[in-house]
C-alpha cells in the first residue's frame, strides 16, 4: 500500500482515547450466569494478554487513602507509574512517556513541545492547548495525551492523563477499589500500545501513513480502539478468575460497565457499512476476539466466554 503525504498542519485525533463512560451504553447488572451455547464457528482465542494480572504488586497506596484525604491524587498516581506491571512493561518498551494529572495550560504547552517540529513551535499553539483541554473533559477518567493523529504508528511515546472523576465522582461511576483503577490503567496501556506500534489485523498494517478518510473512517477507528482496550480488561478479568486470584477483584459495576461498552462497540462495528479495508480489519478482529463473543438481544445481552478453560455465558441487562 502506498504511503500518503503527511499534511502540512498536524491534525488532532477526533477524540481523546479514554476509558470514559459513553452515554447510553452503561450496563449495571450482571443478572445470571448460564452455560454457553455451542458455537462451532468460534476460533481458538489468539490474543491472550502478554502480561499476567498481578494484584499483589509493589503498590502500597490505596485509592481510599485519596478519598479519605490521607494522600494527594498526584501521590497515588505517581506510585501507579512506578509499581504496576503493565506500566513497567510499557515504560521498558519506550511507549509510555509518563502519567499526568489535571495539568495546567502552562504544563500542557511545555509537554506539547516534545511532539512539534521547530517550525510548529513558533506557531500559535493555543488552539492545540484548547482542543486538548476540551477533549479531556467530560465523563472520562483517563485519556491519551496529546492525541495527535500523526502519532498513530509513529513509535513515539505518549502520556496517559487522569481526571478528578477517577477519585471523586458526582454520578457514582463505580470506581470502587484499586483493582478498578488498575483495570482502567490496563485499558489506557492498550491504547498506548496501539498508538505507538500501530495495529496489524488481517494482513493490514494500520498507521497514520497507511490509512486515509476514504478507506478507514474516524468512527470505525474509534470503536475499534475501544473494543481492543475493553477486550484487554475483560480477558484479564477472566484470566484472574481462572487462576482463582480473588484478592482485590474489580467491582461488579466496573465489570458490567466494561462488558456493556464491549458489546456496544462490537455491535457498532458489526453493523458498520465498511470499506474493503475496514471489513478485512473487522473480520480479523472478531476472529481474534471470539473467546469473548457478545450476543445482543436489544435490552440485554450475553457474553459467550471461552477463555483460559472458562466456559460461561453471563447475562447482562442494559441500563435505561
pLDDT confidence band for 89 (50 / 70 / 90) = very high
Q: What is the pLDDT of residues 196-207, one digit of tens each?
A: 999 999 889 999
Query: What percent of the chain has pLDDT above 70?
Result: 71
How distant is the alpha carbon of residue 138 from its chain centre? 16
pLDDT confidence band for 122 (50 / 70 / 90) = low
The answer to whether position 3 is within a domain reads no
Is the per-residue pLDDT at 30 higher than 60? Answer: no
The answer to whether position 93 is within a domain reads yes
What is the average pLDDT score of the chain? 78
The answer to whether position 20 is within a domain reads no
Largest CA distance in the chain: 62
Which is nearest to 149 in space by CA: 2, 18, 3, 9?
A: 9
d(CA 156, CA 121): 18
The answer to whether position 204 is within a domain reads yes
What mean pLDDT do residues 102-107 have?
80
266 phi-psi bin (left φ>0, alpha ψ -120 to 50, beta other): alpha
d(CA 306, CA 58): 31
Is the per-residue pLDDT at 143 higher than 80? Answer: yes
d(CA 174, CA 252): 9
In 85-177, which ranges are continuous DSSP H helix? 85-92, 105-112, 118-122, 126-135
The answer to whether position 179 is within a domain reads yes
Could you give the number of structural domains in the chain? Answer: 1
Q: What is the pLDDT of residues 36-50, one digit of tens each?
A: 333 322 322 333 333
The answer to whether position 12 is within a domain reads no
Domain containing 252 equals: 27-36+49-318
The answer to whether position 256 is within a domain reads yes
The answer to whether position 310 is within a domain reads yes
What pTM does this model have? 0.81
Alpha-carbon Rg for the chain in angstroms: 20
244 phi-psi bin (left φ>0, alpha ψ -120 to 50, beta other): left
- Under 8 Å between Cβ of 151 and 116: no
Amino acid at each position: 500500500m502506498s504511503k500518503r503525504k503527511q499534511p502540512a498542519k498536524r491534525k488532532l485525533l477526533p477524540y481523546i482515547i479514554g476509558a470514559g463512560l459513553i452515554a447510553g451504553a452503561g450496563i449495571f447488572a450482571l443478572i445470571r450466569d448460564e452455560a454457553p451455547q455451542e458455537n462451532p464457528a468460534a476460533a481458538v482465542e489468539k490474543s491472550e494478554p502478554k502480561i499476567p494480572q498481578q494484584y499483589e504488586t509493589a503498590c502500597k497506596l490505596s485509592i481510599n487513602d485519596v478519598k479519605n484525604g490521607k494522600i494527594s491524587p498526584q501521590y497515588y498516581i505517581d506510585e501507579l507509574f512506578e509499581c504496576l506491571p503493565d506500566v513497567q512493561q510499557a515504560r521498558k518498551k519506550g511507549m509510555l512517556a509518563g502519567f499526568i494529572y489535571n495539568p495546567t495550560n502552562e504544563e500542557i504547552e511545555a509537554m506539547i513541545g516534545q511532539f512539534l517540529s521547530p517550525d510548529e513551535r513558533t506557531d500559535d499553539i493555543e488552539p492545540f492547548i484548547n482542543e486538548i483541554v476540551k477533549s479531556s473533559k467530560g465523563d472520562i477518567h483517563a485519556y491519551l495525551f496529546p492525541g495527535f493523529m500523526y502519532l498513530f504508528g509513529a513509535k513515539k511515546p505518549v502520556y496517559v492523563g487522569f481526571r478528578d472523576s477517577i477519585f471523586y465522582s458526582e454520578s457514582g461511576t463505580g470506581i470502587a477499589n484499586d483493582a478498578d483503577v488498575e483495570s482502567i490503567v490496563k485499558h489506557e496501556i492498550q491504547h498506548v500500545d496501539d498508538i505507538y506500534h500501530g495495529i496489524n489485523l488481517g494482513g493490514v498494517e494500520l498507521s497514520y501513513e497507511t490509512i486515509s478518510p476514504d478507506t478507514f473512517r474516524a468512527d470505525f477507528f474509534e470503536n475499534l480502539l475501544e473494543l481492543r482496550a475493553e477486550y484487554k480488561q475483560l480477558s484479564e478479568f477472566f484470566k484472574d478468575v481462572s487462576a482463582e486470584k480473588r484478592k482485590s477483584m474489580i467491582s461488579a459495576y466496573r465489570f458490567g460497565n466494561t462488558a456493556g461498552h464491549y458489546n456496544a462497540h462490537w455491535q457498532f462495528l458489526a453493523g458498520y457499512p465498511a470499506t474493503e479495508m475496514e471489513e478485512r480489519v473487522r473480520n480479523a478482529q472478531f476472529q481474534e476476539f471470539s473467546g469473548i463473543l457478545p450476543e445482543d438481544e436489544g435490552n440485554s445481552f450475553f457474553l459467550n466466554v471461552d477463555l483460559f478453560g472458562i466456559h460461561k455465558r453471563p447475562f447482562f441487562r442494559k441500563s435505561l
